[in-house]
Amino acid sequence: MPRLPRLRGREVIAALRRAGFVVIRTRGSHCFLRHPDGRATVVPVHSGEIIGPGLMTRILRDVEMEADEFRGWI
């Protein structure tokens, strides 16, 4: 299995926005993103913190995207 990218929350949001997701709302430090086809996820944006591999796996599962496909949007 290829290694997951190590990114900060803002970088994940930027990649997902390039993939067609839209930030629908923000609550505290969490951004809620949705794609026009219905896929959705929540990304925490804590300053300077890198999203761990477990949470990154969960985000990719929520958006139904493989790690290799996600790397294309970074």
Cα–Cα dist 53/59, whole Å? 10
Cα–Cα dist 48/54, whole Å? 18
Tell me, what's the pLDDT at 2? 66
CB–CB of 39/53 below 8 Å?
Answer: no
Tell me the per-residue pLDDT of 8-58, one tens digit each, with 9 for 90 and over: 999 999 999 999 999 999 999 999 999 999 999 999 999 889 999 999 999
Place of tokens 């929520």: 62
CB–CB of 52/42 below 8 Å?
Answer: no
> How does residue 60 score in pLDDT terms, banded at 50, 70 and 90?
very high
Boundaries of every domain in the chain:
9-71
DSSP 72: T
Could you say which of 3.30.230.10, 3.30.920.30, 3.20.20.10, 3.40.50.300 is the CATH number of the domain covering 9-71?
3.30.920.30
